[in-house]
Amino acid sequence: METLGTALLARCAFVLVAGGLGERLGYPDIKLSLPVETTTDEARRSPPGQPSAHCYLLHYCQWIQQITKEEGSGNVPLIIMTSNDTHAKTEALIATLRTAGLIQLQHILLLKQEQVFCFADQDAHLAITQEEGPDGTVTYKLPRKPHGHGDVHSLIYNAKYPAAEGEESKPLLDVLADTFQTRYILFFQDTNAIAPWTAPITLAISEEENLAMNFTCIEREEGEAVGVVCRVKDTNAAGATVWRTAPVEYNIYEDAVKNAQNDKNSALYQLLHSSESSKKGVSPFPGNSNTLLFHFDAYRRALQSSKGMVPEFINPKYAKNKDGQLVFKSPARIESLMQDLALCMESTAEEQNTPRDIIGVTVFDRFTFQPVKNNVKDVFAKNEKGEETYGAASGEGKYYALLRRRLQSIGMPLPPEGSYPPVELTYPYSSEYSKPLPVSIFPNIVLNSVCQGDYTLSHLQSQVFPTPEKVKLTAKSTLVLEGKVRVESLTLDGALKITGPSSADSAPLVIRDVEIRGLHWTAECIPADRYKPGCGFADEDLIRGYVLRSTGIHKVDSSTDLSKL
């Protein structure tokens, strides 16, 4: 199934939703510039101020380049939705990575979403802020906020694809259909590094089941801040009762669950207490990871019918004022969500009296969803309650865990998970949260995009580790593979970087009967008194809570005399 889906990726258009800064994380730059993992940077000793050698934008671009290289990366479009906050910085990051020769994608199109005004109260009065200048002059402003990632559909619907000089620009939808021969369009968000490994499976299932839309989902824990996908009863334009496949935001779903507990006759109560949902603490509905796959023809029909618009909503947070009245805690704005296009697809079929598009879900193991979205305080608050933390530390740790799982699945005898003690992070600002946060780093194994090939298990086993049982690493080892490398037999108890040729025409560097020991790395917690900017740690380290420390790394490349190792 992975092989079938990977072959279909070359017929995809890719849409990266990246309108947010890292402020919520405590990171001052765009989230696309965050490192997926820090092993690569430490191995290369990347200079301060330079983009990470494995930032999220590069992670996604190099994946697309690799899995579509047989078709030619120039034939695959990547659309990135930005905002006022992120547009210029995203352009600059792309330019830097292009100059460094790290991005070869020819068709990257940035679409910038606009911001909307905010409301101060439920009577829809516009929110107004005021600032007093040094001379006492008061300036009044109307604050704005992003309209939500649902804007991505209207941006695609209205966009013109840049034309060559002297030619007329054409609608983006037409170019995707006619020039790129797009069969599927894949939407993914900025900091879920594991998405490249779920996408092929979702694609293969969509192709086999003839799905118009496919939600990538996880098994959801009750109370978790992850929306659900379910069937909801609705009334159509003709007044008839219909059932729709709908994504529901987690706070709305949790309110429905609370209300259902007081109504034993409700369908939701019965479902929550049925034998199928008896697994304690698990929602009967899958959790939406917001990696969305559409068959392009169905997607285009839905956009042409809705003019790219999806349903809007407002989700204010309330607090009580001094008189005990409920008021907006902060200004709220009208929002839209990209997953709500599912509602448009079903209503379009009703209006046009055509067969309904089939909408499905593909449910993966929970570890496949690891967005980096929470700051240090929120991470420890969630950890205290036993919830998934979805922070920078867990994102990096689960990324290493994914690669270890894949290597173990092809027969590599890696040490069991937890063999090497995890780094134990503690809340640095106070004693408010006492529960330590464990993050498993070692053995940390990183393969760059060239080494990953088409990112399939079959490539790993046939091209990189043909005899995986002869590759043995201790629990405290670090292994970095870059370029075309074929590891036939290796014993490692330390840190090793192997660099093979990067050219597609070159033969791989073969590692056979090599034994390396020494130069072990460690993960060092950042001391509480240095947990602030200007105290010697980079922002990307502060949001993790630890740094990788190396005493060096053994290096092997095509010029190395392997007989002396």
Per-residue tokens: 305: 């019918």
Tell me the β-bridge partners of 42.
none
**CA-closest candidate to residue 68, choices 78, 56, 80:** 78
List all residues 6 or more positions away from 483 whose beta carbon is below 8 Å from its beta carbon: 448, 450, 451, 499, 500, 501, 502, 509
Q: Are 449 and 63 in contact (CB under 8 A)?
A: yes
Q: How many domains does the chain have?
A: 2
Q: 389: domain range? A: 376-564
Clarify whether residues 416 and 488 are in a common domain: yes
3-state DSSP call for residue 514?
Answer: strand
Distance between CA 11 and CA 186 in Å, rounded?
A: 10
Clarify whether residues 329 and 430 are in a common domain: no
Tell me whether residue 271 is exposed, middle or buried, using C-beta atoms within 10 angstroms of its C-beta: 0 to 12, 13 to 18, 19 or more: middle
Per-residue tokens: 535: 């105290």
Residue 46: the pLDDT is 52
List all residues 6 or more positions away from 97 whose beta carbon is below 8 Å from its beta carbon: 51, 57, 58, 61, 103
Clarify whether residues 337 and 226 are in a common domain: yes
* DSSP result, 298-350: HHHHHHHHHTT---EEE---EEE-TTS-EEESS-B-EEE-GGGHHHHHHHHHH
Strands 554-556, 490-499: pairing kind? parallel
Clarify whether residues 156 and 279 are in a common domain: yes
Distance between CA 395 and CA 392 in Å, rounded?
A: 5
Clarify whether residues 546 and 487 are in a common domain: yes
- Residue 28: which CATH number? 3.90.550.10
Among the candidates 327, 344, 368, a domain finishes at 368
Per-residue pLDDT of the chain (565 residues; tens, 9 = 90+): 899 999 999 999 999 999 778 888 888 899 999 999 999 988 765 555 677 889 999 999 999 999 887 655 457 899 999 998 899 999 999 999 999 999 989 999 999 999 899 999 988 999 999 888 888 898 999 988 888 899 999 999 999 998 877 788 999 999 999 999 999 999 999 999 999 999 999 999 999 999 999 999 999 988 888 999 998 877 777 777 777 888 998 888 888 888 888 888 787 877 887 756 556 678 889 999 999 999 999 999 999 999 999 989 888 888 888 888 888 988 889 999 999 999 888 665 555 555 568 899 999 999 899 999 999 999 999 999 999 999 999 999 999 999 999 999 999 999 988 788 888 998 888 888 989 999 999 999 999 999 999 999 999 999 999 999 999 999 999 999 999 999 999 999 999 999 999 988 899 999 999 999 999 999 999 988 888 777 888 888 999 999 999 989 999 999 988 777 7
Residue 490: the pLDDT is 97
Q: Are 21 and 86 in contact (CB under 8 A)?
A: yes
Q: Are 17 and 189 in contact (CB under 8 A)?
A: yes
Q: Are 447 and 486 in contact (CB under 8 A)?
A: no
Residue 355: the pLDDT is 57
Residue 259: the pLDDT is 85
Distance between CA 286 and CA 352 in Å, rounded?
A: 30
Tell me the β-bridge partners of 549.
522
Residue 74: the pLDDT is 57
**CA-closest candidate to residue 470, choices 495, 491, 497:** 491
Residue 44: the pLDDT is 65
Residue 72: the pLDDT is 53
Distance between CA 158 and CA 486 in Å, rounded?
A: 47
Clarify whether residues 152 and 280 are in a common domain: yes
Q: Which residue has the tokens 């709908």?
A: 246
Q: Are 77 and 14 in contact (CB under 8 A)?
A: yes
Clarify whether residues 263 and 215 are in a common domain: yes
Among the candidates 334, 368, 402, a domain finishes at 368
Among the candidates 368, 392, 410, a domain finishes at 368
Clarify whether residues 387 and 304 are in a common domain: no
CA–CA distances in Å: residue 315 to residues 121, 318, 531: 12, 10, 34
Distance of CA 420 to the CA centre of its chain: 27
List all residues 6 or more positions away from 138 whose beta carbon is below 8 Å from its beta carbon: 130, 131, 132
Residue 521: the pLDDT is 95
**CA-closest candidate to residue 294, choices 342, 249, 247, 231:** 342
Residue 371: the pLDDT is 92
Clarify whether residues 337 and 482 are in a common domain: no
Return contacts of 486-494, CB within 8 angstroms, 24+ apart: 486/510, 486/511, 487/511, 488/512, 489/513, 489/514, 490/514, 490/515, 490/516, 491/515, 491/516, 492/516, 492/517, 493/517, 493/518, 493/520, 494/518, 494/519, 494/520, 494/554
Distance between CA 541 and CA 44 in Å, rounded?
A: 16
Residue 126: the pLDDT is 93
Distance between CA 391 and CA 384 in Å, rounded?
A: 14
- Residue 405: which CATH number? 2.160.10.30
Distance between CA 472 and CA 92 in Å, rounded?
A: 42
Residue 322: the pLDDT is 86
Distance between CA 510 and CA 504 in Å, rounded?
A: 15
**CA-closest candidate to residue 339, choices 423, 246, 257:** 246
**CA-closest candidate to residue 313, choices 198, 227, 400:** 227
Tell me whether residue 45 is exposed, middle or buried, using C-beta atoms within 10 angstroms of its C-beta: 0 to 12, 13 to 18, 19 or more: exposed
Clarify whether residues 149 and 295 are in a common domain: yes
Clarify whether residues 151 and 196 are in a common domain: yes
Residue 353: the pLDDT is 53
What beta strand segments (E) does 236-284 contain? 241-248
Distance between CA 371 and CA 395 in Å, rounded?
A: 7
One-letter amino acid at 289 equals S
Distance between CA 439 and CA 52 in Å, rounded?
A: 21
Q: Which residue has the tokens 């867990």?
A: 394
Terminal CA-CA length for the chain: 40
Residue 243: the pLDDT is 79
Clarify whether residues 356 and 498 are in a common domain: no
